[in-house]
Amino acid sequence: MNKEIKNITLAAIFLALGLVLPFFMGQIPEIGNMLLPMHIPVFLAGLILGWRYGALLGFILPLLRNFLFGMPPLYPNGLAMAFELMTYGLVAGYLYEHSKWQCLRALYRVLIIAMFMGRVIWGLSEIILLGIGNIVFTWQAFVSGALLTAIPGIILQLTLIPLVMVALNKSGLLPFKKTCLS
C-alpha cells in the first residue's frame, strides 16, 4: 500500500478516535477534563505518523469537535486547546523521529517534553485569548488547568501511550527503529 495513503488512513482513524473518546470519558465533564481524551490520539499520530500529521491533527481536532458537537467551547478553551494539541503532535513527532534511540526510555523523554511544551503553549494561548477580552489569566489558573486537574490524564497518557507503542513494536507493525543501549 502507498505510504501516503496508509498515513492518511491512520490520520483519519486518529481523528475519529479524538472525536469519539471524549464521549466515553466525558459524560461527566469534570472526569473528561481530568482524563484529557483528545490528547491520546494526537500523541499517537505524532509518534506514529510524524510531526506534520500530529500537528495538523492536533490543531484541527478541538475545532472540528466544537463544530460538530459544540464541545469544547470555542473561545477560549477550544482555540487554546488547538494550539496545545498542535504542540503535542508537533513536538512528540519531531523529537521521536529525530531521537538518537527509539525505545521506551526515549518515548517517555519525548512525551514529558511534549507535555511540558504543550502546557506552556496552552497557558500562553489562554493569556492572549483572555487578554483580548480584558480577562486576566492568573498563575493559579495556569497551575490548576495545566497540572493539578490534569494529573489523572497525564498518568493515563504516560501509561497508555507507551503500552500502545510497545504493543506495536512487539507485533512488528511499528518496530522501534533504533533501540536504547542498556
**What are the pLDDT digits (tens) for 104-159?**
999 999 999 999 999 999 999 989 898 887 787 777 878 777 777 889 999 999 99
Residue 178 lies in a domain: no
Residue 19 pLDDT exceeds 80: yes
Q: What is the DSSP letter of 178?
A: S
pLDDT reported for residue 79? 97
Main-chain dihedrals φ then ψ at residue 180, nearest 5 degrees:
-70, 150
Residue 25 lies in a domain: yes
Q: How confident is the model at residue 26 (pLDDT cuts 50, 70, 90)?
A: low
pTM (whole model) above 0.85: yes
pLDDT reported for residue 38? 94
Residue 34 lies in a domain: yes
Q: Please confirm whether the linkage preceding 162 is cis (ω < 30° from 0).
A: no
Residue 97 pLDDT exceeds 70: yes
Residue 67 lies in a domain: yes
Q: Give the residue with greater pLDDT, 178 vs 88.
A: 88
Q: Which domain holds residue 92?
A: 3-171
Total number of domains in the chain: 1
Residue 71, C-beta contacts closer than 8 angstroms, at least 6 positions apart:
22, 26, 65
Residue 176 lies in a domain: no
pLDDT in tens, 35-86: 889 999 999 999 999 999 999 999 999 999 999 999 999 999 999 999 999 9
Residue 50 lies in a domain: yes
Residue 179 lies in a domain: no
CATH number (domain holding residue 35): 1.10.1760.20
pLDDT reported for residue 27? 67
Residue 16 lies in a domain: yes
Q: How many CB atoms lie within 10 A of CB 83?
A: 20
